[in-house]
Structures are given as C-alpha cells and as structure tokens.
C-alpha cells in the first residue's frame, strides 16, 4: 500500500474507505482490521489448536493472547527507533520497499525520497513517546524479555513459546523480527544472545516446514 496516498485501499470497492491502515483482511467477504483481530478470526476459521490445549478450540491460549498483546504494545513500538534512527538507516530500510513495490516510477520516487524523511521523523516522535534514549539497548532488553516469556510460557518443554511446536505467539513475534532481518542491531543481539539466535533459527525452520 502506498504510504502517502493509500490508493490501493481507496480504489478497492470491497474496502471501507474510512479505514486506511494496514493490515486489512477480507475473510468470507467481510473486512477485518487490525493484526490481532485478523489472527483471532483466522484461528476460529481454521479451528486452531494451541500446543498447550488438548483439543481444538479455535482460540489462542491465554498465554498466547497475553504475549501477543505484549509484542504489539511493547516490542513493536521499539522497531521504528531501530530501523529509522538515522537518515542513512532510514534510507537503507526503504531500499526493499521501493524495489519490491508495484508503484509507478513517479510513485516509487516519491516513496524513495519522502519515505525515509517521514519515518525518520516518526522514529524521533516514537522514541520520545516511549522514553527511548538508546534504541539498540531498548531492543536488546525487549529481546531478553521475549526469551523470558518463551521460558515462562507454561507449555511442554521445548525451544518454542508453544513448547515442542511453535504457537501463534512464536509466529507473530518471528514475523515482527523479519522487519529487522538485515539490520545490524539484530545481528548484534543475535551474537550476544545465543538463546534468541537459536529460537529464531528453530522457529524459521519450523515455519518453513508447515
């Protein structure tokens, strides 16, 4: 979706034009907004069975709900401060967005030039709002907290939040990490935190097998 004009949303007759954020999902013809609500609806549609549950309920476990909420309210807000902390890092982060999009040449240019400037400004506001003075340290602490949550999840012994198999919390947090997959800040933390590095490797393998 074009970050400035939102034309993909505005030009789709199936979508409510008053809601211009992403992600948006069309499930059985109904528009569903917000990542967490989309996840809940998909769990119900596919009769998801949590690794900690004995039978399929179509719902996440309380532990999954709790730690997914933590991921979106505490972990996710740190990422812009890491990705767009300087104009140079912001410029680099928009390389893939400009290259992989289906925008026209003019739209691609506007995103390539305006996007880094906008996100650099957003990053500064986000750091102030979250009280972040050192983005790398805040990210390192959040990674340590995630691994603590993995250990305290209450599932069967195993490398994942879900125990022997990944649960929805594993998948969601792994997805958030993908925003930083080429960032130096993540490589540094993976080197300092072997448990996190192992979790990322094992979760990636498990998701690929599905």
Domain assignments of the chain as residue spans, ordered by start: 34-209
User: Where does the pLDDT of residue 97 fall: very low under 50, low under 70, confident under 90, or very high at 90 and above?
Assistant: low
Contact 52, 154 (CB under 8 A): yes
pLDDT tens column, 100-109: 566 777 777 7
Say what the alpha-carbon torsion angle 167, 64, 45, 11 is, to the nearest 10 degrees: -100
The token pair that represents 197 in the structure block: 């590095």
Q: Is the peptide bond before 23 cis (omega within 30 degrees of 0)?
A: yes
Fold of the domain built from segment(s) 34-209: Glutathione S-transferase Yfyf (Class Pi); Chain A, domain 2 (1.20.1050)
Residue that is written with structure tokens 């996710």 in the block = 76
The span from the CA of 6 to the CA of 119, in Å, is 16
pLDDT digits 0-9 by tens, 6-46: 888 888 999 998 888 889 999 999 999 999 999 999 999 98
When pLDDT is averaged across residues 69-91 and rounded to a whole number, the result is: 87
Say how far apart CA 161 and CA 62 lie, in whole Å: 12
Mean of all residue pLDDT scores within the chain = 87
Q: What is the pLDDT of residues 111-135, one digit of tens each?
A: 777 777 777 787 888 788 888 889 9
Residue 100's pLDDT is 56
pLDDT band at 87, cuts 50/70/90?
A: confident
Cis peptide before 16 (omega within 30 of 0): no
Asked whether residue 3 carries a pLDDT value surpassing 60, the answer given is yes
Half-sphere exposure of 82 (CA within 13 A, CB side): 27
């Amino acid at each position: 979706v074009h970050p400035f004009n939102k034309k993909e949303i505005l030009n789709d007759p199936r979508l409510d034009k008053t809601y211009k954020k992403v992600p948006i999902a069309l499930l059985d013809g109904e528009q569903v907004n917000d990542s967490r609500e989309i996840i809940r609806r998909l769990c119900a549609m596919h009769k998801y069975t949590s690794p900690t549950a004995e039978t399929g309920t179509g719902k996440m476990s309380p532990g999954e709900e709790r730690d997914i909420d933590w991921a979106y309210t505490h972990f996710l807000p740190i990422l812009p401060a890491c990705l767009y902390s300087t104009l140079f890092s912001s410029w680099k982060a928009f390389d893939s967005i400009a290259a992989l999009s289906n925008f026209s040449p003019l739209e691609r240019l506007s995103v390539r030039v305006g996007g880094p400037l906008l996100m650099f400004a957003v990053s500064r506001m986000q750091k102030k709002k979250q009280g972040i003075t050192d983005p790398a340290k805040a990210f390192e602490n959040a990674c340590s907290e995630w691994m603590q949550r993995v250990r305290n999840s209450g599932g069967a012994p195993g490398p994942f939040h879900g125990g022997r198999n990944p649960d929805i919390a594993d998948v969601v947090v792994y997805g958030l990490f993908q925003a930083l997959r080429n960032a130096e800040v993540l490589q540094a933390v993976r080197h300092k935190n072997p448990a996190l590095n192992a979790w990322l490797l094992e979760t990636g393998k498990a998701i690929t097998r599905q």
